[in-house]
């Protein structure tokens, strides 16, 4: 695994922990199909949450929360539908797309932000 992949996996681990601390149940990580990948799939009560995780080092590139463009949001909606179709249909609480941004400063603890319903 390269450095970028390791950084992404580290951020996804922090994101999964953040979601669990918020009371969600993580059911899958890095779910793949021909159309792409969902970083984290979780349950928030009876709602399915498809979560995109973006990890950045402090001072490099844009803030992680700015990384979900309209094109990326549409792709996430499509992937969410693919997951639902392959797992028995829509959940009673609907489907929500969240974003977890992980910012790794040069010093100190990572900053983990969770935004609900971004797409």
CB 84 within 8 A of CB 31: no
Are 119 and 68 a contacting pair, CB within 8 Å? yes
Any long-range contacts for 20-28 (C-beta under 8 Å, 24+ apart)?
Answer: 22/114, 24/49
**Residue 57: predicted pLDDT:** 85
**Chain segment 53-97, per-residue pLDDT in tens:** 999 887 666 777 777 888 999 999 999 999 999 999 999 999 999
pLDDT reported for residue 2: 77
Whole domain around residue 55: which residue ranges? 3-115
Q: How many domains are there within the chain?
A: 1
Helical residues (DSSP H) of the chain, grouped into ranges: 3-21, 70-86
Backbone angles phi, psi at 62, to 5 degrees: -80, 170
Query: Quick one: pLDDT band at residue 98, thresholds 50, 70, 90?
Result: very high
Q: pLDDT at position 66, please?
A: 79
pLDDT above 70 (res 37): yes
Reply yes or no on whether the pLDDT at 6 is more than 90: no
The reported pTM is: 0.91
Torsion of the alpha carbons at 102, 105, 110 and 114, rounded to the nearest 10:
-30
- What's 34's domain CATH number? 3.40.1350.10
Distance in angstroms (rounded) separating the CA atoms of residues 110 and 108: 7
């Amino acid at each position: 695994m390269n450095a970028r992949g390791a950084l992404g996996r580290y951020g996804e681990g922090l994101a999964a922990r953040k979601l669990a601390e918020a009371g969600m149940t993580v059911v899958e990580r890095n779910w793949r199909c021909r159309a792409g990948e969902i970083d984290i799939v979780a349950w928030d009560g009876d709602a399915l949450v498809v979560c995109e995780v973006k990890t950045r080092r402090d001072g490099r590139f844009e803030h992680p929360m700015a990384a979900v463009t309209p094109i990326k949001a549409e792709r996430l909606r499509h992937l969410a539908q693919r997951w639902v179709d392959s797992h028995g249909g829509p959940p009673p609480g609907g489907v929500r797309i969240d974003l977890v941004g992980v910012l790794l400063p040069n010093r100190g603890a990572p900053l983990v932000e969770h935004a609900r319903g971004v797409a």
